[in-house]
Amino acid sequence: MGEKMKFTIYYGKPEPIVAVGANQCRLLSFAEKYPGWHTFKQDRATVRAINALQAKGCLEIIGDQFRFRYP
């Protein structure tokens, strides 16, 4: 079996931000690269990735929009 995809952001704190899986990596890299509010699709994979990143404190969510925030 292959390894899961990982995306890490080092931002000056002891613990970096780590996204695991293709959907989380894609969303987190997009949110960091393009600051501001963005809408997201309501399909199961995207919603799961958004919720996981919100639980880690990486994303702020209001309705169907998200933006990157440093935890």
Question: Across the strands, what pairs with 19?
Answer: 7
**Amino acid letter for position 17:** I
Give the separation between CA 16 and CA 33, rounded to whole angstroms: 17
Structure tokens at 39: 């809408």
Mean per-residue pLDDT for 48-62? Answer: 95
Q: What is the pLDDT of residue 53?
A: 96
Q: Looking at residues 20-27, what average pLDDT do you find?
A: 95
Confidence of residue 71 (pLDDT cuts 50, 70, 90): confident
Beta bridge partners of 60: 67
Percentage of the chain with pLDDT > 90? Answer: 87
Q: Give the pLDDT score at 21.
A: 95
Is this model's pTM higher than 0.85 or not? yes
Which residue, among 62, 59, 63, has the nearest Cα to 50 in the 3D structure?
59
- Give the per-residue pLDDT at 41: 94
Helices (H) and strands (E) in the chain, counts: 2, 5
